[in-house]
Amino acid sequence: MLTYKVQPKGAVSPGMNTCQGCMIDVIFRNALDVLGPDTVLVIPPGCAAQFSGCGPEASVTVPGIQGNLENSAAIATGIARGFRHQGNEHTHVVVIAGDGGTVDIGLQSLSGAMERNENILYICYDNEAYMNTGVQGSSSTPLAASTTTTPAGKPVNSKDLIQIVMAHHVPYAATASVANIPDLRRKVEKARDIRGCRVLHVMSPCPTGWGYPPAKTVEVAREAINSGAWVLLEYEEGKIRLGKKPSDLGHVEKYFALQKRFRNADEEDMRRAGAHIAERYAWLEKMAAL
């Protein structure tokens, strides 16, 4: 039984130790609001781990477990199968993991769960590095971004998680952003009503690791969408549906200028990053036209 010492806001405790300007709270609150109380969370270590509780202290009103970085999808599989064995078809098993626990370390267990089409919802909030341990680069870190392990800027492009997910032919996958909360809620709602392995990839800029004032989180996320660095899309029944075309596709200068992690990026880096973004978008457009 949960003892309430404070009144939660939605299903989340009002005072979370997430950094000033961090929007993970908003992702949790909106996702749990849409999913309802009949939900079980699996959270690997990372910034979101504090939502799985610390000692006797809980931060969300739904039950959850903190797993390991590499096996969150496997733990969720076990929970979902256990529920099925008990005849429980109604409880949502939801993983909320960071990009390190999804794109790097947890990729194999997620891949297995997607292959078996387990009945889980996997939400990855992507802050493009290992922010919780002090901004180490992950494979989601974009080209030219400076982290403590890539101090001169990352020399290669990031992994394209959503295309890896789409290659597993899951029933539903989508990207969302904290810059568009109604869209995020709609996508969680859609994912809730589908059975099988559903994956949501949500961009969540990090003021601490990306080096911008906390007030600019939503602005940075919006600029990422405008420049095409983050593409909003939905994948359903083998069809890709792209969101609105980015207004400034391939022009990353404004997006880069907002963040200190790109302070070492020269014109050549910007050209390469812009070219990669434009190329990727053109490829997605071709796939969406099929």
By the criterion CB under 8 A, which residues form the site for another protein? 1-6, 8-10, 12-18, 20-23, 25-26, 29, 52-59, 61, 83, 86-88, 91, 178, 181-182, 207, 213-219
Least separation in angstroms between CB 126 and another protein = 17
Of the pair 16, 170, the CB lying nearest another protein is at 16
Of the pair 103, 123, the CB lying nearest another protein is at 123
Compute the distance between CA of residue 112 and CA of residue 58 in angstroms, rounded to an integer. Answer: 30
- C-alpha pair distances (Å), 110 with each of 1, 75, 267: 31, 10, 37
* R_g of the chain, CA atoms, integer Å: 18
Q: List, in sequence order, every residue forming a beta bridge with 235; answer none if it has no partner.
A: 173, 240
Of the pair 4, 152, the CB lying nearest another protein is at 4
Least separation in angstroms between CB 118 and another protein = 18
- The H-or-E segment that residue 227 falls in is helix 217-227
- C-alpha pair distances (Å), 79 with each of 41, 45, 62, 88: 10, 18, 14, 11
Compute the distance between CA of residue 168 and CA of residue 223 in angstroms, rounded to an integer. Answer: 30
Least separation in angstroms between CB 29 and another protein = 6
Of the pair 3, 152, the CB lying nearest another protein is at 3
Compute the distance between CA of residue 249 and CA of residue 247 in angstroms, rounded to an integer. Answer: 6
Residue 287 CB burial class (10 angstroms; 0-12, 13-18, ≥19): middle
Least separation in angstroms between CB 86 and another protein = 5
Least separation in angstroms between CB 72 and another protein = 17
Least separation in angstroms between CB 147 and another protein = 23
Of the pair 4, 290, the CB lying nearest another protein is at 4
Of the pair 13, 132, the CB lying nearest another protein is at 13
Neighbours of 128 (CB within 10 A): 30
Of the pair 166, 178, the CB lying nearest another protein is at 178
Least separation in angstroms between CB 182 and another protein = 8
Compute the distance between CA of residue 48 and CA of residue 66 in angstroms, rounded to an integer. Answer: 10
Compute the distance between CA of residue 2 and CA of residue 25 in angstroms, rounded to an integer. Answer: 20
